Amino acid sequence: MFLQIVGVTIDFCNFQAVHCDNEIAGGFNPGEGILICGNHLTMQDEVTQVVIHELIHAYDDCKAKNLDWSNCAHHACSEIRAGHLSGDCHYKRELLRGYLKIRGHEPECIKRRVMKSMKANPNCSEAAAKDAMEAVWDVCYNDTQPFDRAP
């Protein structure tokens, strides 16, 4: 089954529910598709959020010219966009994770989660990941495509 979204064709055969050994909820692998780690998700809302997050990565992979996932800035940008546009850092989710901050929680959460994700990129040291994230922050955080605005 296929779905056409903003000029990108999504093949639902490229979605896999798998058992993950790592402490991750899901992932996107170019050319392979979207993985959902069923053993780390307990509610439908969590599954929905992970799918949206990974679809942002898939969108970026399809739409960005010359996106290179081994490039720290490219990877950081997609993580910033996915964190911002998926609602991953909504205050309710942060509260459930044990983070309680009323103001400014979303950018802080996104930065924390970008760094967590980039640890898995063997091409990005912690310092390189942080520098890349800071360098692309404004442009990537404000890029809401394919949406009109962030949710």
How far apart (Å, rounded) are the C-alpha atoms in residues 119 and 15? Answer: 24
Is 20 within a domain? no
* Per-residue pLDDT, 22: 81
* Per-residue pLDDT, 62: 86
Is 16 within a domain? no
Q: How many residues does the chain have?
A: 151
**Beta pairing partners, 17:** 36
The β-bridge relationship of strands 33-37 and 15-18 is parallel
Is 37 within a domain? no
Phi and psi, residue 115, nearest 5°: -65, -40
How far apart (Å, rounded) are the C-alpha atoms in residues 70 and 72? Answer: 6
Is 62 within a domain? yes
The model's pTM: 0.85
Is 55 within a domain? yes
How far apart (Å, rounded) are the C-alpha atoms in residues 55 and 39? Answer: 20
Task: Please tell me which residue in 32, 54, 106, 108 is annotated as part of the active site.
Answer: 54
Is 1 within a domain? no
* Per-residue pLDDT, 82: 96
Residue 94 a catalytic site member: no
Count other C-beta atoms under 10 Å from residue 27's C-beta.
21
* Per-residue pLDDT, 10: 60
How many domains would you assign to the chain?
A: 1
Domain extent at residue 129 = 44-142
Is 90 within a domain? yes
**What are the DSSP calls for 30-97, one per residue?**
TTTEEEEEGGG--SHHHHHHHHHHHHHHHHHHHHSTT--TTSHHHHHHHHHHHHHHTTTT-HHHHHHT
> Which secondary-structure segment (H or E) carries 128?
helix 126-141
- The one-digit pLDDT tens for each residue of the chain (151 residues) are 455 555 555 665 678 888 988 888 999 988 788 999 989 888 888 889 899 999 999 999 988 878 999 999 999 999 999 999 998 887 676 666 666 777 777 888 899 999 999 999 999 999 999 999 999 999 999 999 988 988 8
Is 84 within a domain? yes
